[in-house]
Structure 1
Amino acid sequence: MSNGNGIFYAYAKDLKNDTIARYIITFATRNVADVWYRAILDSVSQGHERFASVRRVSLQLYTHEYSEKTNITDTLNDAQVAAHLRGQMFFTLLNDKPAEIGIFELGIFIVSNPLKHIHSFYIRSVPQPDTYWYYDMVEGGVFASRNRRTRFTVTIVDKKRSPGTFMVDNDEVYITLGSNISFGVDVNKENQLAEGRAGGFPFKFSCFKTDFQIELQLNGPAVKAGPTVAQDSSGLGAIVRNVDKGERWELV
């Protein structure tokens, strides 16, 4: 999830015509791009098929079938689709080919794939990329480690979402241990991530960008003496929830 918070760009072109209705789409963030495309998919699934032709070919390329009533730019003017995103994204019309006036070209951006509902990941620190979340069975909690790591499954709370739905910042999600959905990650009285109820605590997906931090630096002592922690040469620190004051983590 190392997509950052900066401006994000994509191309859009008419599927049946290479000379008209070609756009650069400018999004405030990568998350806005995901929210916009999911709004299109949701509107179609709910019976509003005006923009059913819009397809995401890749993270930076979309296709659509242009007409006066279904131009992709009008997704921002349709209250049933993405009018709520006006001010967070815009379309720039590329020069039509027959005019042959200039060339507009985007650079190549390295971006991660969409992160999908009910998939398992390792959770890695962005500022310390050798550091991962590790579930310690003896301590019953989640720690940061440089030499151990555990796979966690991230699941959207909304049961109406089908497996494979890509996740966006505003989604509430459960974090569970591997494929064991009865082994949820919860928050204890000290705000540490710990073994909890089935499903676990409903976090916002954006929490991975803002809410989790290491209680003690990894080059310091272990967070507490315990049969596993004390023997770990990496010097474990507990992962704690600190809303809007945490560091960035990515799912890999």
Structure 2
Amino acid sequence: MVFYAYVKNVADNWSYRYVITFASREVADEWWRAVSTSAVTSFVNSVQRINAQYYTHNPSLANATETLVTAGVATQFLGKVFFTLENDIGGRGLSIIPSPDQFTDHISGNSFFIRSKVAPYDYWYYPSSNATNAVYISRTERTRFTVSRVNSDTSGTVIIGSDNIAITLTTVNLSVNVNATTGQVILSPAPLSGLTFSALLSNFIVGPSLVENGENVKELLYTENGEQWELV
């Protein structure tokens, strides 16, 4: 589904205002990663992300629209992103972009609940009394996890699908891992090696129902072709 954002000129209140149309939310975050890490410093200094649907730029340094046609910036997104120039102010209108009903910005180092996109009442849950260290699915309880890029000095950056991540309890230094024999999701002192953000959103599946410490829960399993999950 297409995703929209504004970009505004930081030097004045009337010129070089655009609506950006991205092929998807994921493309928006990947475009921003390319721009913000580009070796072309004029774009790094010009284009700033205020939030997922609002950017600023300084056209005297570099115009955000040129990211798609300037070598070394974000030319790989030419067919996935386009800019629409807005009217200047003075009584003329500004396009109102649609905003998702619920929106979570995927910022490294922030904490989230993790729930099913198909059944949004199913949440990842880690009971405080848990002999097996297993993570379960619950419809009555939920546990908050910190999701972080594993690269150093990346706290506060936007996470994209190809990033290696660690999913850690917010209260104890235990991270999501997988039992190699059963595929059951567990917590351990060492995070699951090679886990990417895209895998978090697609490589886990709800398993059989069971009772854990008197609570009705379901197993959470890791698989190559899983269900869709989201951070909230």
TM-score by length of 2: 0.85
Q: CA deviation at 1:115?
A: 2.1
Residue aligned with 1:150, SS:
coil
Q: Which of 1 and 2 has greater Rg?
A: 1
Matched length? 229
User: Which segments of 5 or more consecutive residues in structure 2 lack a partner in the other structure?
Assistant: none
What amino acid does structure 2 have at the position aligned with 1:249?
W
Residue aligned with 1:114, SS:
coil
2:108–2:157 Cα contact (<8 Å) kept: yes
Q: CA deviation at 1:74?
A: 0.7
1:9–1:24 Cα contact (<8 Å) kept: yes
Answering whether residue 51 of structure 2 is matched by residue 58 of structure 1, we say yes
Partner of 2:20: 25
Considering only aligned residues, what root-mean-square deviation do their CA atoms show, in Å? 2.6
What amino acid does structure 2 have at the position aligned with 1:141?
A
Q: CA deviation at 1:239?
A: 0.8
Q: Residue by residue, what CA displacement relative to the aligned partner does 1:58-84 show, whole Å, maximum 9, x if unpaired?
A: 3222221224x6211111122322112
User: Which segments of 5 or more consecutive residues in structure 1 lack a partner in the other structure?
Assistant: 1-5, 223-227
Q: CA deviation at 1:205?
A: 0.7
Taking the aligned partners of 2:43 and 2:106, their CA distance within structure 1 comes to 27
What amino acid does structure 1 have at the position aligned with 2:221?
V
TM-score by length of 1: 0.79
Q: Residue by residue, what CA displacement relative to the aligned partner does 1:27-63 show, whole Å, maximum 9, x if unpaired?
A: 01112112222322222xx572344122223322222
Name which of 133, 152, 166 aligns with 2:145: 152
Partner of 1:250: 230
What amino acid does structure 2 have at the position aligned with 1:176?
T
1:187–1:201 Cα contact (<8 Å) kept: no
Q: CA deviation at 1:172?
A: 0.9
Q: 1:54 to 1:196 in 2, by over 3 A?
A: same
Residue aligned with 1:190, SS:
coil
Name which of 90, 106, 110 aligns with 2:97: 106
What amino acid does structure 2 have at the position aligned with 1:246?
G
Residue aligned with 1:56, SS:
strand
Q: CA deviation at 1:125?
A: 2.1
Taking the aligned partners of 1:184 and 1:169, their CA distance within structure 2 comes to 19
Answering whether residue 107 of structure 2 is matched by residue 116 of structure 1, we say yes
Identity of aligned residues (%): 36
